[in-house]
A = this chain, B = another copy of it.
Amino acid sequence: MSGHDARGSQDERPLGRLSATGRVEAFSDGVMAIAITLLVLELKVPVAAGPGELLGLLLGRWPSYVAYLAAFLTIGIIWLNHHTLMTKIARFDTRLHWLNLLLLLGVATLPFPTALVADYVADQSSNASIAAAAYGLTAMLMALPWGFMWRHLRDHPELLEPEYDAAHASVELRRGSLGVPIYAAATLVSFVQPVAALALYAAIAAIYAITSQGWSAPSASETRAKAKE
Contact = CB atoms under 8 A, between A and B. Distances in A.
Copies in the complex: 4
Nearest to A35: B37
Interface in A88-127: 91, 93-94, 97-98, 101, 104-105, 108-109, 111-112, 115-116, 119-120, 123-127
Interface string A2-40: 111111111000111111101101110111111111111
A4 B29 contact: no
A196 interface: no
Interface in A20-78: 20, 22-23, 25-27, 29-41, 43, 45, 49, 51-55, 58, 68-69, 72-73, 76
Contacts of A25: 23
Contact of A72 (B34, B108, B123, B126): B108
A109 B43 contact: yes
Contacts of A33: 27, 30-31, 34
Contacts of A76: 101, 104
Interface stretch (A150-158, A176-184, A212-220): A212-220
Given A4-B19, A55-B126, 8 more contacts: A16-B223, A17-B222, A27-B33, A27-B83, A38-B41, A49-B120, A93-B216, A94-B216
8 contacts: A6-B19, A7-B16, A15-B225, A16-B225, A17-B225, A26-B29, A27-B83, A68-B109
Interface of A: 1-10, 14-20, 22-23, 25-27, 29-41, 43, 45, 49, 51-55, 58, 68-69, 72-73, 76, 79-80, 83, 87, 91, 93-94, 97-98, 101, 104-105, 108-109, 111-112, 115-116, 119-120, 123-127, 130-131, 134, 209, 215-216, 219-226, 228-229
